[in-house]
Amino acid sequence: MSNLADNTKTQQPAYNYCALPLAAYACRPDQSLGRVHEEPESENRTPFQRDRDRIIHSSAFRRLKYKTQVFVYHEGDHYRTRLTHTLEVAQITRSIARALMVNEDLAEGIALAHDLGHTPFAHIGEEYLKKCMEPYGGFEHNDQSLRVLTTLERKYPEWNGLNLTWETLEGVVKHNGPMSEKPHIAVRELQEQTDLRLDTYASVEAQVAALSDDIAYNNHDVEDGLRAGLFTLADLEQLDLLKDALATSRARYGDLRPRYLVQEMIREMIGMMVQDVLATSRKNLSDLNPQSAEDIRTAGKAMVAFSDDMRKKVDDLREFLFARMYRHYTIIRIYGKVDKIITDLFTAFMKSYETLPDNWQRRVREAGAEGDEALRARIVADYIAGMTDRYAIREHERLFDLYWDLR
Ligand code: MG
């Protein structure tokens, strides 16, 4: 992985610039630890810009469009999907990264990649795929995001995956901070090629992307939940955070029509959270006074964080959303259907891998997995995890509906 660093000694990189002056603790493109497979650098983009562009052009990224965030895609065109969620995370990430004077391109790439490994049907889909994969080494969506980037995308004749820089991969792997539990398959395989230093913290850029994920989904879930009628503004007023945001909105505009009030409240909440993260992170950074990205990795705690007060308010909101939204009966009702779709597909493909599409059968043969159940299960899980909601439904119909063709 030190290829790029070595390159910089012999050839002057033409990409040695960023959009803004960077803080001392930011990740600099000319100090990247490079890629697993050596490549000539671009003349006009930094390695982190290229990573971001590769992620946007990946097939897994396009499929986020038809993957559920909370509501299944056909429930309404106004709700978030994994794709629009990801774009909101990237937007918040860029704002915070720029304000902290760290590398916006790197942070954006990590944000755009963070959910690539999600199964169809959101966390419900993951629960059932996890169950299917229990005897075969498990399934975990963060690890699967890495697997998409390092193995599953097939776009380059010389290697599998997108051959991203160490820093982008690190950011995806450490989405929840240093890795304390036993690494899953994608991390283990990457560890054989480069040391991700799993016990250290990730860059500020990665920390920004992770917290922006929290800011995005907590806010858009409130909006989507209200739209779906799962709770009301009066319910939300029991929460400190929402009460504050509503009070500010009402003080500014008086009696607003609910649709404007909701928008105003969400804007206010995102603003409050971003302000809080910036103030807290700046304080953390000024206390630590880091002189390099390395100082961030070994700081022993995350630099990018909510204040204790905001953390408590966000946790209360999460608890509310969990009870009132993710466990709402209209959502619970689809659990059984999702269980059937995922488990039926998994069982059918495991029973006969010849029911897989040609390119996936090829993957089974190339891996020598015909006679190896665990290897085959991993490939089947890769195929299912990569499906969009609607593709999974169609695939289930094709395999199990006797009269599909005659309808
Ligand atoms: Mg997310």
Tell me the per-residue pLDDT of 105-150, one tens digit each, with 9 for 90 and over.
Answer: 999 999 999 999 999 999 999 999 999 999 999 999 999 999 999 9
Residue 214 Cα to ligand 1 midpoint, Å, equals 7
Residues 252-265, mean pLDDT to the nearest whole number: 91
Q: What sign does the CA torsion over 204, 205, 207, 211 have?
A: positive
At 357, list the tokens.
Answer: 């599409």
With bands split at pLDDT 50, 70 and 90, how would you rate the model's confidence at 237? Answer: very high
Cα 344 to the center of its chain, rounded Å: 27
What are 249-257's contacts with CB under 8 Å, separation 24+? Answer: none
Give the dihedral sign, CA 135/137/143/145.
negative
According to DSSP, residue 35 is labeled B
**3-state SS class at 327:** coil
Predicted pLDDT at 406: 53
Indicate the burial class of 52 (C-beta count within 10 angstroms; 0-12, 13-18, 19 or more): buried
- Round to whole Å and give the CA distance between 302 and 407: 56
Q: Residue range 292-303: average pLDDT?
A: 97
Q: How far is the CA of 174 from the centre of ligand 1 (A)?
A: 14
Cα 70 to averaged position of ligand 1 atoms, centre (Å): 11
Say yes or no to pLDDT of 384 above 90.
Answer: yes
How much distance in Å is there from the Cα of 136 to the middle of ligand 1? 26
Rounded to two decimals, the pTM is 0.94
Mean per-residue pLDDT for 64-78?
A: 79
Fold of the CATH domain 4-201:
Hypothetical protein af1432 (1.10.3210)
**From ligand 1's centre to the CA of 236, what distance in Å?**
22
- CA distances (Å), 299 to each of 46, 55, 245, 311, in order? 27, 29, 34, 20
**Tokens 């660093």, residue?**
5
pLDDT for res 74: 63
Q: How far is the CA of 39 from the centre of ligand 1 (A)?
A: 30
pLDDT of amino acid 171: 98
- Measure the CA–CA gap between 149 and 157, rounded to whole angstroms: 15
What's the CA-to-centroid distance between 89 and ligand 1, angstroms?
Answer: 7
Of the candidates 110, 114, 130, 104, the one whose C-alpha atom is nearest the C-alpha of residue 23 is: 104
Cα of 142 to ligand 1 centre, how many Å? 10
Whether residue 234 is predicted with pLDDT greater than 50 in this model: the reply is: yes
Question: Integer distance in angstroms from the first to the last C-alpha of the chain?
Answer: 54
9 pLDDT band, cuts 50/70/90, is very low
CA of 314 to the centre of ligand 1 (A): 16
Confidence of residue 68 (pLDDT cuts 50, 70, 90): confident
pLDDT for 361 beyond 70: yes
Mean pLDDT over the full length of the chain: 92
Cβ neighbours of residue 258 closer than 8 Å, sequence gap 6 or more: 233
Q: Which residues pair with 165 in a beta bridge?
A: 35
Ligand 1 centroid distance, CA of 143 (Å): 14
For residue 35, what are the β-bridge partners?
165
DSSP state letter for 40: P
CA of 85 from ligand 1 middle (Å) equals 7
Taking the centre of ligand 1 as the mean of its atom positions, its distance from the CA of residue 175, in whole angstroms, is 10
Specify which residues 81 forms β-bridges with: 68
Distance CA 103, CA 48 (A): 9
43-62 tens-digit pLDDT: 889 999 999 999 999 999 99
Contacts for 157 with CB less than 8 Å, ≥ 6 apart: none
Q: Which CATH number is correct for 205-330, 1.10.3720.10, 2.70.170.10, 1.10.3410.10, 2.40.128.20? A: 1.10.3410.10
Q: How crowded is residue 203: how many other Cβ atoms within 10 Å of its Cβ?
A: 28
Q: Which of 222, 96, 110 lies closest to 165, judged by CA?
A: 110
Name the one residue in this structure whose structure tokens are 């942070």: 107
What length is written for the chain? 407
Question: Distance, CA 94 to ligand 1 centroid (Å)?
Answer: 15
Rounded to the nearest whole angstrom, what is the distance from the C-alpha of residue 115 to the centroid of ligand 1?
5
Higher pLDDT, 401 or 145: 145
How far is the centre of ligand 1, averaged over its atoms, from the C-alpha of 218 (Å)? 10
Q: How far is the CA of 221 from the centre of ligand 1 (A)?
A: 12
* pLDDT score at 10: 44
Rg (CA), the chain: 22
CA of 1 to the centre of ligand 1 (A): 28
For 344, other C-beta atoms within 10 Å of its C-beta total 14
pLDDT of residue 2: 45
327 vs 209 pLDDT, higher one: 209
Burial of 138 (0-12, 13-18, 19+ CB in 10 A): middle
Q: Domain-by-domain residue ranges, the chain?
A: 4-201, 205-330, 341-400
Give the Å distance between the CA of 233 and the centre of ligand 1: 25
Q: Which residues pair with 68 in a beta bridge?
A: 81
pLDDT tens-digit series, residues 12-43? 455 556 767 899 999 999 899 999 999 998 98
Going from the Cα of 255 to the center of ligand 1, the distance in angstroms, rounded, reads 34
Query: 86 C-alpha vs ligand 1 centroid, how far in Å?
Result: 6
C-alpha count within 13 angstroms, C-beta hemisphere, residue 276: 20
Measured in Å, residue 114 CA sits from the centre of ligand 1 at 6
Q: Which residue has the tokens 């004077």?
A: 101
